Amino acid sequence: MAEKRKEVNNPRPLAETPTDMAFLDLVNLRLDRVKAYNSERYYIDLIYRAKRWINIWGGLTCAEISQMIITNFLIERRKVSPHTGNIELRLLRALFNFGIKRKFIKVNPTDGIAFFPVKKKVKYFPGNKDIDKVIAVADPDTQDYLWTIREKMAIVSEVNRLEWEDVNFAERFVILYTRKKKGGHRTPRKVPMTKKLYKVLQHRHKNRDPEKP
């Protein structure tokens, strides 16, 4: 009975939720998340950046990576270009926010770090004549690929994900998928075929490898 009263008066301390982890572990968890929910292009770019981070901070915990450490790293990356420095900052900020959201860590060392100023340039959008010149000098396979992008007004990643089950020759439309929506969900959109696109895809379908979707 005396022991029970002692426990009531002096309760055992509750186990605290961990608020730190190895930086390498956080990076691997973030990569797993991106691979499952984001585009392949984003995932590959993150791997490329993450290898550099791990070479520098792979032996540290997240709490050991201070704002000054991040700032010095970004200043070095800015020597490549301000745009490069800003990409690194954006991805690192997302990495540490990921850890905070899942309660692995408490502090984001990128908080308060501003993006580098970038001189914006007017983007050049090639006209039909310039596009025709590029397609004309390409090999036959590349011509089909470029025509598909042009005729569908699609981005490259949408065309790269295109499968034959997304092509409806009877009703002459193509289903394209994008992952731009929040959460990484694949969002479909129906695009009608032009006469040129119908001709290109029919030719590709006739000469396709049945083993490849």
**What range defines the domain where residue 138 resides?**
128-206
**Residue 71 placed within a domain:** yes
**Residue 119 placed within a domain:** no
CATH, residue 143? 1.10.443.10
**Residue 116 placed within a domain:** no
Count up the domains in the chain and report the number. 2
Residue 109: name the closest of 62, 55, 46 by CA.
62
pLDDT band at residue 212 under the 50/70/90 scheme: confident
Same domain for 132 and 200, yes or no, is yes
pLDDT of residue 14: 47
Q: Is pLDDT above 50 for 15?
A: no
Same domain for 135 and 95, yes or no, is no
User: Whose structure tokens read 């949408």?
Assistant: 158
Alpha helices in the chain (DSSP H): 2-9, 23-37, 40-57, 67-78, 82-101, 128-136, 140-152, 156-160, 195-206
Condensed to tens digits (0 to 9), the pLDDT of residues 148-166 reads 888 877 788 888 888 999 9
User: Whose structure tokens read 């499952």?
Assistant: 36
**Residue 8 placed within a domain:** no
Of 114-128, 134-148, 196-210, give the lowest mean pLDDT range. 114-128
Q: Is pLDDT above 90 for 28?
A: yes
Same domain for 97 and 132, yes or no, is no
Cα–Cα dist 121/18, whole Å: 46
**Residue 1 placed within a domain:** no
Half-sphere exposure (CA, 13 Å, Cβ side) for 191?
Answer: 25
**Residue 211 placed within a domain:** no
pLDDT of residue 24: 97
User: Whose structure tokens read 């501003």?
Assistant: 114
**Residue 43 placed within a domain:** yes
% of the chain surpassing 90 pLDDT: 59
Q: What is the pTM of this model?
A: 0.64
Q: Is pLDDT above 70 for 182?
A: no
